[in-house]
């Protein structure tokens, strides 16, 4: 529920602080995006989620429950500000999205999930509210992307997510693309968290033919409470920004489709 926090910050501090932070922070443009960046950007026109199949909000969504906010392109606010044009999942909440195209396993990454994370001032760490990402061909059987969390920090010592130590989560990288700045949501410059369907080739659902990587119609995003009660694919406990607020999803862009 960063959206509520961001609203309060915006009122108190004002937009000018973003310019100062951008200049003064030690963070550089060489952001290390860990989620399977292709060698070249995909210049193909993006497609986006077009309808919400189901929305099951958890606790603490605040007022950010307008399902239309998650459809269409992202409205990112850059490295140090998170968008408020979002759908909040709430603690442990989830949303399942549908598309007018079929997502396929093509060259490089296949789709991008945009949350509203942002860099913590003066650090290379991110204020992140993490979420699992799953895909389905039939809307019944879902395969979850194998995810890695290597922070090894309890909530009491938490000081933000190091993007280089997590993989295949939504909610890690800030969003640069919005409808007014000309950045293609499918490009690397857009930010967000990129997912490659080939990472699921060994998933049991895929091996059984219940999830077909060239016939994906649904993407599900599930908030991780962040208090150490949820685990990555290697049974590591997951801690995120506050251990109790939900991920705020801006958009999902499809790169490879038919």
Per-residue pLDDT tens, the chain, 258 aa: give them. 565 555 444 433 333 333 333 333 344 333 333 444 343 444 568 999 999 999 999 998 888 999 999 999 999 999 999 999 999 999 999 999 999 999 999 999 999 999 999 999 889 999 999 999 999 999 999 999 999 999 877 655 567 899 999 999 999 999 999 999 999 999 999 999 999 999 999 999 999 999 999 999 999 999 999 988 999 999 999 988 755 568 999 999 999 999
Q: What is the pTM of this model?
A: 0.84
* Residue 110: exposure state from Cβ atoms within 10 A (0-12, 13-18, ≥19): buried
Q: Quick one: DSSP state of residue 169?
A: -
Q: What is the pLDDT of residue 32?
A: 36
Range of the domain at 61: 2-254
Whose CA is closest to 248, among 2, 81, 56?
Answer: 2
- Based on the structure, what is the number of domains in the chain? 1
Distant-in-sequence contacts of 83-86, Cβ < 8 A, 24+ apart: 83/3, 83/116, 83/175, 83/178, 83/248, 83/250, 84/3, 84/6, 84/7, 84/10, 84/116, 85/250, 86/3, 86/115, 86/116, 86/248, 86/249, 86/250
- Neighbour tally for 42: CB within 10 Å: 18
Question: Each residue of 216-232: b (16+ CB within 10 Å) or e?
Answer: bbbbbbbbbbbbeebeb
């Amino acid at each position: 529920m960063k959206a509520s926090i961001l609203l309060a910050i915006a009122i108190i501090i004002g937009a000018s602080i973003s310019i100062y932070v951008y200049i003064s922070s030690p963070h550089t443009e060489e952001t290390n995006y860990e989620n399977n960046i292709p060698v070249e950007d995909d210049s193909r026109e993006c497609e986006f989620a077009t309808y919400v199949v189901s929305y099951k909000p958890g606790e603490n969504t605040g007022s950010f429950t307008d399902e239309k906010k998650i459809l269409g392109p992202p409205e990112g606010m850059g490295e140090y500000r998170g968008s408020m044009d979002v759908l909040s999942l709430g603690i442990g909440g989830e949303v399942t999205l549908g598309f007018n195209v079929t997502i396929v396993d093509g060259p490089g990454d296949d789709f991008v999930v945009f949350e509203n994370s942002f860099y913590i001032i003066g650090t290379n760490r991110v204020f992140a509210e993490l979420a699992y990402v799953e895909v389905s061909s039939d809307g019944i059987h879902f395969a979850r992307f194998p995810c890695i969390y290597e922070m090894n920090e309890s909530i009491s010592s938490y000081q933000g997510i190091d993007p280089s130590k997590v993989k295949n989560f939504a909610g890690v990288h800030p969003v640069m693309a919005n409808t007014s700045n000309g950045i293609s949501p499918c490009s690397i410059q857009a930010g967000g968290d990129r997912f490659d369907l080939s990472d699921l080739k060994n998933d049991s659902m895929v091996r059984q033919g219940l999830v077909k990587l060239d016939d994906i119609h649904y993407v599900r995003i599930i908030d991780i409470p962040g208090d150490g009660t949820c685990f990555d694919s290697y049974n590591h406990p997951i801690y995120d920004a506050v251990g109790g607020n939900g991920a705020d999803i801006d958009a999902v862009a499809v790169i490879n489709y038919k």
